[in-house]
Amino acid sequence: MAELTLDTARKILDAAFAKSTELKLKPLVVTILDARGVLKIAAAQDGTSLMRAEIAHGKAYGALAMGMGSRALFQRAQEQAYFIDAVNTIAKGALVPVPGGVLIMDGTTLLGAVGVSGDTSDNDEACAVAGIQAAGLKANAG
């Protein structure tokens, strides 16, 4: 697989929502971007709060922009707050450096990223990872 197909993105989305249901989480938004950062698919469960779509997008976008899962961005923000703040300024505030943004890998090839928002960051990340793995791909959460 050289690129992220819509069919694969749908599998990731469906499996992420299935994991959310299994864990009985709060309503989620799942956003999937291809390797270029272009929106492939996004969906919100009923009852999500107002900014969840933007947050999910920011988690996925940040992971792609920095080449690492957003858990690593979170760690870096704690260690180098000025750096992450500067990068986020350059990105016009588009990065959300907390867990829940996960790179989609096919071997060593980057296919895109999943961003999830709605529950705790750890639970958001668990749903993103479950979705990626259900599609037979490797998740890099950072």
Show pLDDT as tens, one digit a residue, over the chain (142 residues). 589 999 999 999 999 999 999 999 999 999 999 999 999 999 999 999 999 999 999 999 999 999 999 999 999 999 999 999 999 999 999 999 999 999 999 999 999 999 999 999 999 999 999 999 999 999 999 9
Q: How many distinct helices (H) and strands (E) make up the chain?
A: 5, 5
The CATH homologous superfamily for domain 23-140 is: Haem-degrading domain (3.30.450.150)
Q: Where are the domains of the chain?
A: 23-140
Query: Is the pTM higher than 0.75?
Result: yes
Cα–Cα distance, 108 to 96 (Å, whole number): 24
